[in-house]
Chain A
């Protein structure tokens, strides 16, 4: 027996504030709560995965974020990605579309088609998805402020093309509370914004029950400065706010909870990240079962896209981001995500090129085809370290959720700018830590290159002509559509908003009459007003 004390080591904490020990044993697992919340894959509380066979049955969906310029160009990029083995689409929309402006709005000048494709009317959706089988390729719309309108447009397009809405799958991001925290594509004030999310959930539950109308995003909260435990805890608080809105309308939890999904980030410490997802799966299941009395297992599933990782990528030495991306994809695969997307290495600079998007796709395909990530469910399960960290992170998330509720709840804290201020203070501290070298970033505060221009990034060129063509297309639709029908449809949108009714049926009718995103948004703004950002430091 060696009676010498181990040499002292400096305490290390992960980003969530939990101390990381040099060694974990069975005693640590016991001390953190044991394996009571472990269970089997596919069984409550789903720590090890929501399905019993996970990737053995079907690998994750690969869904790179793509879209730029006009719908015709985006349609070509979609087809390129599908031809290269991508199994889902993740649609990037330009900023005017995201905040409900038409391409000819003076505020949209210089922004049309710049960071995503522009959508004005149903005609644009018809072009963007032309030749793509919506039963084979599931489509995720990255839309929030204008989500009700774009969901209405997607359903209308699918219906026109003869798809059965009862069988139609797909996802909209539609998480407005996180837009107030970070990302910023809000339109309406907080309360009517939540009401609109409720409208989409309620409408889809009745008319398109396999469509996922909301993907709650811890992702952007993390990008704004939250740590991994806060990312997940606040996402759950937000999901509960939407669930409460819908339950308040009399819809039973099991009729919609199964279609709620999540979007989480994957950069950071590998073990903390994997434990975060495992902890989150069991905590969400517990919340649904114990607080919402859900009975269907599907209502308790934490279905998620785990991807991106933009916050971990660096402007310096961009090619090293390819390697970072590979580790992030590994995290996602070890975590049991349903869908994966990766930021491309040039994403700190520009819209990814076909080349960089293909590297991201190949990174995910490597894990499936060469690295054995699909063969065994929850491969890190049973590790003393990962099980202990899973228990500790679950406790941390519950603590954060409890504090949030005690301070008045997520809706109040977001409305007052409290969460925004907290994450921005943390982002500031992180930036200071990176600049001082306390938080290490390769290529940024250590291992810098003398010459940073060795591998120049190819920039995506913005084409002013495309914007003009988009406006011309909009004008053509305006000239061809039945103006009387549009007027009637828009009046109904306003009347239904005024009366507090679910606006989705009116929006679907307006979309079918080829009313534009900007026109429908104006009707809703007339009733709901516009959000005013609380600025608080």
Chain B
């Protein structure tokens, strides 16, 4: 049997959005799936997300956004993650993400997109398969 790889996940709440019920549910699902999760709490700036991702040496950088500012936030975050050499990490995002924004998010490097209604098992399976 191959040994399960150890996965460290950063789950961040970007911007001013205060809806954290979903983020905390996903944190619990990831912990139950055996991942190590660093949850930032609310109101993270792009700079904070990039810094914590670097300092904590995570494999996965995940955002939870419910209040509509996901595209402008990711646009600011992308160059910061690149500048910190975090392009080999898995970038993902969940929350209230209208289908019309998915292409823009994917282009910004957020490959895993999990809009409201996604199953927890689908999220954890995606992380297990795609984490570097």
Contacts and interface: CB of A to CB of B under 8 A. Distances in A.
A111 B17 CA distance: 9
Given A432-B120, A435-B121, A462-B68, A349 B24 contact: no
Interface residues of A, number: 39
B18 A184 contact: yes
B100 to A, nearest CB: 7
Nearest to A108: B16
Given A107-B45, A432-B120, A459 B100 contact: yes
Nearest to B118: A315
B20 to A, nearest CB: 6
Nearest to B28: A428
Report whether over half of chain A's contact residues are helix, strand or loop; otherwise say mixed: loop
Contact of A424 (B17, B19, B25, B40): B25
Contacts, number: 86
B96 A349 contact: yes
Contacts of B20: 182, 184
Contact of A114 (B19, B68, B115): B68
A110 B21 contact: no
Report whether over half of chain B's contact residues are helix, strand or loop; otherwise say mixed: loop
Nearest to A94: B16
B25 A427 contact: yes
Contacts of A108: 16
A43 interface: no
Interface in A501-537: 533, 535, 537
B16 A96 contact: yes
B39 A115 contact: no
Contacts of A431: 25, 29, 120
A435 B42 CA distance: 26
Contacts of B121: 435
A110 B98 contact: no
Interface string B32-53: 0000000111110100000000
A110 B72 contact: yes
Contacts of B69: 110-111, 114
B15 A110 contact: yes
A108 B69 CA distance: 11
B73 A110 contact: yes
A99 interface: yes
Nearest to A443: B117
Given A348-B116, A533-B41, A428 B25 contact: yes
Nearest to A99: B16
Interface string A396-438: 0000000000000000000000000000110110011001000
A224 interface: yes
A73 interface: no
B106 interface: no
A316 interface: yes
A27 to B, nearest CB: 41
A179 interface: yes
A107 B17 CA distance: 12
Given A115-B67, A185-B18, A424 B28 contact: yes
B76 to A, nearest CB: 8
A69 B79 CA distance: 29
A535 B39 contact: yes
A223 B20 CA distance: 10
Nearest to A116: B67
A245 to B, nearest CB: 23
Contact of B72 (A107, A109, A349): A109
Nearest to A101: B16
B31 interface: yes
Given A109-B72, A179-B18, A462-B68, A184 B42 contact: yes
A250 B19 CA distance: 37
8 contacts: A101-B16, A108-B16, A111-B15, A114-B68, A184-B42, A428-B24, A428-B29, A444-B117
Given A425-B28, A537-B31, 11 more contacts: A95-B18, A98-B16, A99-B16, A111-B69, A184-B18, A315-B115, A315-B116, A424-B21, A428-B28, A435-B121, A462-B68
Interface of A: 95-96, 98-99, 101, 107-111, 114-115, 179, 182-185, 223-225, 314-316, 348-350, 424-425, 427-428, 431-432, 435, 444, 459, 462, 533, 535, 537
